[in-house]
Amino acid sequence: MTDLLNDHVVIDGHRIACGTHGAGDPLVLIHGTPSHSFIWRKVVPRLTDAGYRVHLFDLLGFGASERPRDPAVDTSVAAQDTVLTTLMRYWGLESAHIVSHDIGGAIGLRFGLFHPEMTRTLTVIDTVSYDSWPSVTWRKIIAEGLDELSRAPDAVHRDRFAKQLRMVVHDKAIMQGDVLASYLDAVSGPIGQPSFFQHQVRHYHSRYTSEISDRLTTLGNSLPVQILWGETDEWQPVDWAHRLAADIPGSALHVIPEAGHFAMEDKPDAVAALVVEFAGAARR
């Protein structure tokens, strides 16, 4: 991860791990949950090779960024907007292409609506939307109680979470060994496990997307929007992609065969190529 996240910035008193790579038009990557910037490791080199300056970061409360102990610190989708806008000022960006995944997609949708002047293009990948989240699977897990889940024995937590992670890829062979460990380690252990439930699961709430649903038409009229979706997504079925495409005028929808919710794991070449083509068309 040190190759991806090669910098740190303090925002509102909290440390954010971030990174910049390449040269050219600026492009910002926003990860989702349960993940961190590791998910972009196969995509970043393809984007920099195509002539983009890629910026990425771990959301507050995620991955290598600070995990605040104070439960009053807001790490919701809505609160991450401050992190993103401050980072863009730090990077010297007046605007950028925004590429966002999962709950990062919700951050991207909101950013495009609230800051259209800072958004050159918006690509959302297997994003949460409307009342699509928490997924059916996560609703069942949350019903067990977050306090109980955060105190589960490490082996029990890791086993439960490994089963969830195997659902996010079409090719189940991907999610094993070092790849599985990279995702598991970020949300396990004495710090990772309780902070995962405090900073991620506690904010799995569709109000952050439902409250902007009636403004999606405005988004489509303000900037170019692209929707990428894994055809076999088990957490956010592809029907949500078609609904989004219908509600965002002029949006481009690409359903990626043999890809699950973590499309960047299954098909990094396809994801990168679509991002490059879409951003490139906007600058021509």
Q: What angle do CA 31, 257, 45 make, to 5 degrees?
A: 45
Look at the chain and report how many structural domains it folds into: 1
Checking phi first, is residue 165 left (phi over 0); if not, alpha (psi -120 to 50) or beta? Answer: alpha
For residues 26-42, give the mean pLDDT.
Answer: 97
The phi, psi pair for 256, rounded to 5°, reads -95, 115
**Residue 140, C-beta contacts closer than 8 angstroms, at least 6 positions apart:** none
- Our measurement of the distance from residue 201's CA atom to the centroid of its chain's CA atoms, rounded to an integer in Å, reads 14
What local confidence, expressed as pLDDT, does residue 284 receive? 55
Do residues 212 and 113 make contact, with C-beta atoms less than 8 angstroms apart?
A: yes
- Pairwise pLDDT comparison (83 vs 2), residue with the higher score: 83
Average pLDDT (79-95) is 97
In a domain, 165, yes or no: yes
Domain assignment of residue 130, yes or no = yes
In this predicted structure, what is the pLDDT of residue 136?
Answer: 86
Check pLDDT > 90 for residue 75: yes
CB atoms within 10 A of CB 172: 12
pLDDT of residue 180: 97
**pLDDT value, residue 138:** 87
Q: Is the pLDDT of residue 116 over 80?
A: yes
Over residues 32-50, mean pLDDT: 97
User: Whole-number mean pLDDT of the chain?
Assistant: 95
Q: What's the domain range around 83?
A: 7-283
- Percent of the residues in the chain that have a pLDDT greater than 90, as a whole number: 91
Query: What pLDDT does residue 282 have?
Result: 81
What is the predicted pLDDT for the residue at 156? 95
Residue with tokens 């690509």, as numbered in its chain: 123
Q: What is the pLDDT of residue 278?
A: 97
Would you state the structure tokens that stand for residue 249, as one six-digit string? 């005028």
Does 124 map to a domain? yes
Q: Region 196-214: what's the mean pLDDT?
A: 94
The 10s digit of each residue's pLDDT in 221-260 is 999 999 999 999 999 999 999 999 999 999 999 999 999 9
Residue 2 lies in a domain: no
Asked whether the predicted pLDDT for residue 22 surpasses 90, the reply is yes
pLDDT tops 90 at residue 3:
no
Whether 76 maps to a domain, the answer reads yes
Is this prediction's pTM over 0.85? Answer: yes
For residue range 149-187, list pLDDT tens digits in order.
999 999 999 999 999 999 999 999 999 999 999 999 999
Label residue 137 by pLDDT band (50, 70, 90).
confident
Instruction: For residue 149, tell me if it sits in a domain.
Output: yes
Domain assignment of residue 1, yes or no:
no
Is 60 within 8 Å of 85 (Cβ atoms)?
no
Tell me what pLDDT residue 215 has. Answer: 95
pLDDT for residue 26 is more than 70: yes
In a domain, 176, yes or no: yes
End-to-end CA distance of the chain: 33
Position 146 confidence tier, pLDDT thresholds 50, 70, 90:
confident
My answer on whether omega of the bond before 134 falls inside 30° of 0, hence cis, is: yes
Query: Residue 200: which CATH number?
Result: 3.40.50.1820
* Nearest CA among 161, 160, 187, 180 for reference residue 67: 187
Q: Are strands 225-230 and 252-256 parallel, antiparallel or unpaired?
A: parallel
pLDDT for the residue 141 = 86
* Residue that wins the pLDDT comparison between 44 and 220: 44
Amino acid 2: pLDDT: 54
Banded pLDDT at 114 (limits 50, 70, 90): very high
Between 146 and 92, residue with greater pLDDT = 92
